[in-house]
Structure 1
Amino acid sequence: MALSPTRVLPAEARTPGRRETESALELAERMPRLILEARRVSTTLAHGLHGRRRAGPGESFWQFRPFVAGEAAARIDWRRSARDDRLYVREREWEAAHNIWFWVDRSASMGFASHLAQAPKVERALVLAFALADTLVEGGERVGLLGLTRAVTSRRIVETLAQALVGDGAGLTNDAPPRATPGRFDEAILVSDFLSPLSEVKASVDAIAAHGTHGHLVAIADPVEETFPFSGQAVLHDPETNRSLAIGDAGAWGDAYRDRLAAHRAGLAEIARAQGWTLTLHRTDRPASEAALRLLTLVAAARGTG
């Protein structure tokens, strides 16, 4: 019986998939609260990504750099060059907006929340996406949902994304991003527990990256899924397929489970590395702001090297 490495519920969860499925279907009712939480997180982040520190056709001065043979003489800043015996070029900071695309996994496994978590995985994934979208738009970027919306710059971006997700019933049963084709200089942020087979994750990432799109994988994990703190009788459960396996001594499975999880995570890291993407692991017993700040840093770094 092929179970995904961390789709685990304690023995008292006797109705396979019901709790997670109902949680996903009731997501629309929770959206107002999630939007408020996302706004709170976004206020804790460094607002404005105008300081991308990359040369380009902007208006703000960035730096002087030495003139390189073969460049047009019109680019030389003669006033600065007159100070010593070298020629210098005045560079301006890149200020053009970019398209940043989000995908949030809302399938059944994302509804799981243990007693150690601050929120179900799907709620944390949505709060992260909304907070990042709000902050990125504030910084002048265009933001959209893969396969659902256009990339736009709007002060109501969070409400726009939430409305699109509420109307997307198909997303409740699909644990893979749509086969969208962002542009060469676009960026994708995929938020999921990534418990699907690695071959499926790789196919999705490769398809999105095929045209040069840079991206980030954000793996959301419940602390119980990470540690497997079970002993005695337990039920291993895959909410995506409703398959369950009752075991008599869960403690004896712990080491094998953690080894399998480590191998799965190593596979995710290799998928990201092969495309020049990043992988961020976020546990739902940690503040959402931690992962959001890391992602903003990674996006800014990608802008500086793109």
Structure 2
Amino acid sequence: MAAPAERATPEQLALRRADGESRTLAASLPRLVLEARRIAANVIHGLHGRRRAGSGESFWQYRRFASGEPAQNVDWRRSARDDHLYVREQEWEAAHTIWLWPDRSASMAFASRGMRDSKLERALIVTFALAELLVAGGERIGVPGLIPPSSSRNIIDKLAQAMLHDTAVRPSLPPAFVPSPLAEIVVIGDFWSPIGEIEAMLAGLSASGAHGLLLQVVDPAEESFPYSGRVEFVEPEAGSTITAGRAETWAGDYVTRLALHRDQIRAAAGRRGWMFSTHTTSRSAAELLLFLHASMTVNRAGRSTGIGAGA
């Protein structure tokens, strides 16, 4: 007679799910890395990093002298060549770090029928590609709790290997850490966490003066709630279930609550000077990468002139 099976604890169930997700990630990583490199190569063509004028030692460009500037700013040697006054600008060289956090929790594994990428796969593709793009522009990339800031040219391989060997239970939101005041942070996830937890995360990461961007990645089914009839929904983090007898009658309330949750995240981000945006996996990953790069450039420009990112 077989011995009765022991009921697993929530912690054991979480570890089993993490192990299964690690195996799935190991199988899909080669495709994700190749896709990230392809997208980064396409986007980086024609871009020239995020160089800008500021205090530094490397020459960047000459520009026309503006009326009202101190006379000592004039580069007289360059100005002597023609009838205009010129100022010699140096390239901005502050030591900045960009922290990237792709949510790798259980809820990110969801993909509805017909979607090539799960939310997790899309988040990792964009994280890898963004890291490649930023390192090419002279930035340092880190993942809190996983890898320290690095400007390695093989940053994608470092990220992939670190994630592959990370066996810890993965939280939805980044762990508490103290970024430098000049750091930028990009958090990519589905943000289905309670708004109180999201506000606490923002408060902790912003305490030092760091700023960043929250990107909500969702599946099309999570946008429109296309379900009808009797449907059992499973909460992927805890494994709890809820059954809808006529799921179509839930759609209106669902869409309303989704809009409210997003408004709350947007307001919380804006109060801290952060940006918030959404992305659906049915859209292009390259389009998202371009948006992120442009948004980070605008965000930094706003900070350097005293204009908050949420303005």
**Shorter-chain TM-score range:** 0.7 to 0.9
Contact 2:59 2:88 in 1 (8 A): no
**2:142 and 2:29 mapped to 1: Cα distance?**
18
Select 1:247's aligned residue among 238, 244, 247: 244
**1:277 and 1:194 mapped to 2: Cα distance?**
15
**2:261 and 2:94 mapped to 1: Cα distance?**
38
- 1:124 counterpart = 2:122: yes
Trace 1:51-200 onto structure 2 (pairs within 5 A): 51-57=50-56, 58-61=58-61, 63-66=63-66, 68=68, 71=70, 73-78=71-76, 80=79, 83=83, 89-96=87-94, 98-170=96-168, 172-200=169-197
Letter aligned with residue 99 of structure 1 = T
**1:125 and 1:272 mapped to 2: Cα distance?**
20
**1:239 and 1:17 mapped to 2: Cα distance?**
10
Distance 1:65 1:283, change over 3 A: farther
Q: Which residue does 1:303 correspond to in 2? A: 300
Q: Which residue does 1:228 correspond to in 2? A: 225
Task: Report the more deviating stretch, 287-296 or 22-31.
Answer: 22-31
Deviation at 1:188, TM superposition (A): 0.6
What is the TM-score when the length of structure 2 is the normalising length? 0.84
Q: Which residue does 2:270 correspond to in 1? A: 273
**2:44 and 2:64 mapped to 1: Cα distance?**
26
Structure 2 portions without partners, runs of 5+: 1-12, 305-311
Cα deviation, 1:49-99, whole Å, max 9, x if unaligned, reads 445333332311153342546x4x432234649847xx7643333255521
Cα deviation, 1:233-273, whole Å, max 9, x if unaligned, reads 11232111211111111111110000000001111111221
**1:75 and 1:49 mapped to 2: Cα distance?**
26
Letter aligned with residue 254 of structure 2 = Y
Q: Which residue does 2:27 correspond to in 1? A: 29
Contact 2:49 2:136 in 1 (8 A): no
Q: Percent identity?
A: 40
Q: How well do the aligned residues superpose, as a CA RMSD in angstroms?
A: 2.5
Select 1:264's aligned residue among 261, 264, 275: 261
Q: How many residues align?
A: 286
SS in 1 for 2:291: helix
**1:184 and 1:49 mapped to 2: Cα distance?**
25
Distance 1:228 1:65, change over 3 A: farther
Deviation at 1:118, TM superposition (A): 2.3
Contact 2:49 2:134 in 1 (8 A): no
Structure 1 portions without partners, runs of 5+: 1-15
**1:163 and 1:254 mapped to 2: Cα distance?**
40
Letter aligned with residue 202 of structure 2 = V
Higher relative contact order, structure no. (Cα contacts within 8 Å, ≥ 6 residues apart): 1
Contact 1:101 1:146 in 2 (8 A): yes
Distance 1:18 1:164, change over 3 A: closer
